[in-house]
Amino acid sequence: MLELLIISSLLGLALGSFINACAYRIPRGISIFASRSFCPSCNHRLKWYELIPVAGYVINRGGCRYCKEHISLLYPFVEITSAGIIIILLFKYNLTYEFAISSIFCLLMLLIAIIDLQHFIIPNSIIIAGFIIGFAIRAFAYYETLLYTILSSIGSMIVVAAILLLSNRISKKETMGWGDVKLAGVIGLFLGFPKFLVVLWFAAVFGTIYALTRSRKGNAHFAIDNPQSEIDFKIPFGSFLAAASCVIVYFQETISEWIQIWLTYRQ
């Protein structure tokens, strides 16, 4: 078990490093496999030992060895979070089909959360990848029909689209983006429609806490290279949808039981 834990941790750290690369390159239109990783400030190519997850950050003392520019703590945070996701899901599901599905989904949500938190966008390329992966996985799931999966995805998008149109009309400004609607479709595809409603509730709670915290701290933000600007006043709701989805993935059996009890009670 110790060997499996060590391997899972190393795998999680490596995947977190890859997520960091994707989060930086995809919004900027840079190919993921175009070249070796580089410093975002001076574009100097990094040595192999500087790319070791977490350790590379420590070795460089949180900055670039060449231009001395500070490197955000977000990088090791994502790597450690990725490893934590793998370890937690491994303890919950062991080496099973559910472990593989949950890991893929949560790591995808982590990537989306980081990009939306920094840039307030959810790239279509990631959404498309999410739909493809989701349909491929559900095609092999013996416990759900493809029709149910499709309806869950559509239903989730309809709910968020309705909230978007209503909130934008009431506030007379853009409070949510259509990227959130598409993300809802991906989440509904993986988790199913009833569970998506729970995700939406948790996301609203997380978003409210974030807004209240930001209002007290002013314009502080957790981005790598975004300057202080009007973008800091937006709420990255996609990040909270992604975070809430990961919470529901871990507690999905309990939530399914609650939903079943509620449906039985309603009858």
pLDDT of residue 229: 43
- DSSP string covering the chain: -HHHHHHHHHHHHHHHHHHHHHHHHGGGT--TTSS--B-TTT-PBPPGGGGSTTHHHHHTTTB-TTT--B--THHHHHHHHHHHHHHHHHHHH-SSHHHHHHHHHHHHHHHHHHHHHHHS---HHHHHHHHHHHHHHHHT-TTS-HHHHHHHHHHHHHHHHHHHHHHHHHHTS--S-HHHHHHHHHHHHHH-HHHHHHHHHHHHHHHHHHHHHHHHH-S----SSPPSSGGGGS--HHHHHHHHHHHHHHTHHHHHHHHHHHHHHH-
Residue 89 forms part of a structural domain: no
- Percent of all residues in the chain with a pLDDT value above 90, rounded to a whole number: 46
Residue 212 forms part of a structural domain: yes
Q: Which of 32, 62, 83 is the last residue of a domain?
A: 83
Closest by Cα among 81, 83, 103 to 92? 103
Domain check: are 189 and 158 in the same one? Answer: yes
Domain check: are 102 and 181 in the same one? Answer: yes
pLDDT of residue 188: 94
Q: Which of 57, 83, 109 is the last residue of a domain?
A: 83
Q: Which of 17, 49, 83 is the last residue of a domain?
A: 83
Domain check: are 78 and 172 in the same one? Answer: no
Q: How many domains does the chain have?
A: 2
pTM to 2 decimal places: 0.87
Residue 10 forms part of a structural domain: yes
Tens-digit pLDDT profile for the chain (267 aa)?
778 888 999 999 999 999 999 999 999 888 887 777 777 778 778 777 777 889 888 888 788 877 878 888 999 999 999 999 999 999 999 988 889 999 999 999 999 999 999 999 999 999 999 999 988 887 776 556 778 888 999 999 999 999 999 987 887 777 678 899 999 999 999 998 888 999 999 999 998 898 888 777 655 444 444 444 444 457 899 999 999 999 999 988 787 777 677 667 665
Encode pLDDT of 96-111 as tens digits: 888 999 999 999 999 9
Domain check: are 47 and 138 in the same one? Answer: no
* Residue ranges making up the domain that contains 146: 96-267
Residue 88 forms part of a structural domain: no
